[in-house]
Amino acid sequence: MELKRVVVTGLGAITPLGKNVEETWQGLINGKSGCGPITLFDASKFKTQFACEVKDFDPLQFFDKKEVRKLDRYTQLAFAAVTEAIQDCGIDLETEDKNRIGVIYSAGIGGIKTFQDETGGYNAEIGPKYNPFFIPKMIADIAAGQISIHYGFHGPNYGTVSACASSTHGIIDAFNLLRLGKANIIVAGGAESAICEAGIGGFNAMKALSTRNDDMERASRPFSGSRDGFVMGEGSGCLILETLEHAKARGAKIYAEIVGGGMSADAYHLTATHPEGLGAKLVMNAALEDANLKPEDIDYINVHGTSTPVGDLSEAKAIKEVFGDWAYKLNISSTKSMTGHLLGAAGAVEALVCVKSVVEDIVPPTINHADDDLDPEIDYNLNFTFNKAQKRTVRAALSNTFGFGGHNASIIVKKFAE
């Protein structure tokens, strides 16, 4: 069976840097920090009092008041990104076969704010009193379900849940279903909104978050010596994936081609990456093999790069082993230094960044690095694209996402050519 080629025909995003793709992209290439004091709740008693929030989001732009009450913020953000992506790709929904359009929209946690609010109000003496929308508002698959219901898409429909690798796994699934001919179009992406008491408090308890309250805009500093944990972000990224055959038949514009995806497990620790990057090496090699590419075909790696002491170091080691001498000739950057860590939405937003880099031939930077803030175990001969975007031809870009539980996923985006 000959596998179909899969292309990206639409993009949508809402992030701490902007309410659409262009605002987000301009923020990235200009090295803008999306971090600031938490406004979504009173964080004054928490160890971490900052995050990368989506600013001035108004769900009433997308829903009426009655609908808003039925949707957790993570699903609301998903709709914002999907609305832009569907408009961008120019699908004529009146003429398309909706039985051949799928939705794979992922989250690592889902409606944690809804869960917190509902369970926090339980009174053991009075007895259970829950909102009937509690469960369908909270569950991590519901963004995918709501999107398919709203648009009437009857193709494959689900969400993948693998912590911070969730939406990359979802995009890989979409890629595989399309190249097997199981659909014509799949709306793929991820959304997350966990900036609430339970989210910040839970990650604080496990000492995963930066506590740099006195320097919050510079708190996310991947690959720097003084990095002390990740910065929570929220938002959503959406890619419209389509078989090349279908895209050409409807005259769609084509941004780039998805050419390979890899998956692996660290099988090592609940939350820490393997210190020698075992799973990271496996997953990058798997993606290269799937894409039928050599290491020297990759020009840019959007790394997982969360700004944690162990994670950044192990990923840098893995890149050196997989790419050999070529590791010193490609660009590496962590856009989490600007967006924060969007958890289950990170993979979708960062895959979108790779698409834009391939199209625009620009690599966004890793911000917040000082020349004297070094980790003696990191090889700074690698080009981490510190502090300033770099122009270069980006023939292909690889995006890494690694999740709690040792879940690893990598995807490769390539310039489109007939």
> How many residues does the structure list for the chain?
418
Indicate the residue type of 11.
L
Residue tagged active-site, from 169, 274, 341, 407: 341
In the block, tokens 């995918």 appear at: 144
> Which tokens hold the place of 167?
């939406």
CA nearest neighbour of 337 among 310, 380, 373, 302: 302
Is 341 part of the annotated catalytic residue set? yes
Q: What residues form DSSP beta bridges with 162? A: 164
Per the CB < 8 A criterion, the answer to whether 344 and 199 are in contact is: no
- Kindly report the number of other CB atoms within 10 A of residue 222's CB atom: 28
CA distance 211 to 130: 35
Which CA distances in Å does 306 have to 2, 265, 266, 339, 407? 38, 18, 17, 11, 15
Q: Which of 170, 100, 230, 184 is nearest to 351 (CA)?
A: 170
Confirm if 343 and 109 have CB atoms less than 8 A apart.
yes
Name the catalytic one among 169, 304, 369, 407.
Answer: 304
Nearest partner of 309 among 263, 271, 267, 354, judged by Cα: 271
Catalytic-labelled residue, pool 164, 196, 238, 354:
164
Query: Residue 191 forms beta bridges with which residues?
Result: 236
The Cα 93–Cα 104 span in angstroms is: 18
Per-residue buried b or exposed e for 144-176, using 16+ beta carbons within 10 Å of the residue's own CB: bbbbbeebebebbbbbbbbbbbbbbbbbbbbbe
* 150 is a catalytic site residue: no
Q: Is 89 a catalytic residue?
A: no
- Look up residue 59 and give its two tokens: 């769900």
Closest CA to 222 of 302, 163, 283: 302
- For the annotated catalytic residues, the residue numbers are 164, 304, 341
